[in-house]
């Protein structure tokens, strides 16, 4: 038996020799395949708001080769060469669910992958009244003004009583 052979094909010859120095031999080949790297994510699910960066991290290792880490989307940072950690991030994702695949490729071109799900939630609009309280006589018009904004969506304003005038669609 032999251990710790690097990947490749080896020819092994076994020779039997008796007490009279007679010999007989047989040969066989051993094909040693590369062991792919191992890559894992610290969490299978990441939650993020649409106005924040989504982030994830994990680890990788290989038996004997240098490893390169890549991501199907976003930015990946790798610490270590044969083993270490990775950190992924992406900004500007709209609300929804995304699957991100991290691939570890070793120097022999063997690969393995891990995936995680990113859930991006909508950020609600912000609406502010200029005055927290308005006083008016019963025969006069009560009025107030304010501002509104949303990270990435069109906003429609409504009032629980009376009428409202809106200037702008995403902020105003």
C-alpha dist (Å) from residue 144 to 1, 149, 169: 87, 17, 19
CA distance 6 to 157: 68
Q: Which of 114, 118, 145 is nearest to 130 (CA)?
A: 145
Phi then psi for residue 72, to 5 deg, are -70, -20
Per-residue tokens: 45: 């699910």
Q: pLDDT below 70 — which residues of the chain?
A: 172
Q: Which of 86, 85, 92, 87 is nearest to 53 (CA)?
A: 92
Q: Could you report the per-residue pLDDT of 101-136, keeping only the tens digit for each?
A: 999 999 999 999 999 999 999 999 999 999 999 999
CA 30 to chain centre: 39
What is the model's pLDDT at position 6? 85
What is the model's pLDDT at position 169? 87
């Amino acid at each position: 038996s032999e251990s710790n052979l690097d990947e490749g094909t080896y020819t092994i010859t076994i020779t039997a020799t008796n007490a009279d120095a007679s010999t007989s031999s047989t040969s066989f080949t051993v094909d040693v395949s590369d062991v792919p790297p191992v890559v894992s994510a610290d969490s299978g699910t990441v939650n993020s708001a649409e106005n924040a960066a989504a982030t994830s991290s994990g680890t990788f290792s290989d038996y004997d080769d240098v490893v390169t880490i890549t991501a199907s989307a976003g930015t990946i940072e790798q610490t270590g060469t044969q083993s270490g950690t990775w950190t992924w991030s992406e900004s500007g994702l709209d609300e929804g669910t995304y699957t991100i695949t991290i691939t570890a490729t070793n120097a022999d071109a063997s690969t393995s992958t891990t995936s995680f799900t990113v859930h991006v939630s909508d950020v609600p609009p912000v609406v502010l009244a200029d005055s927290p309280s308005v006083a008016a006589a019963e025969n006069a018009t009560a009025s107030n003004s304010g501002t509104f904004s949303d990270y990435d969506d069109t906003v429609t304003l409504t009032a629980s009583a009376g009428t409202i005038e809106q200037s702008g669609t995403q902020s105003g």
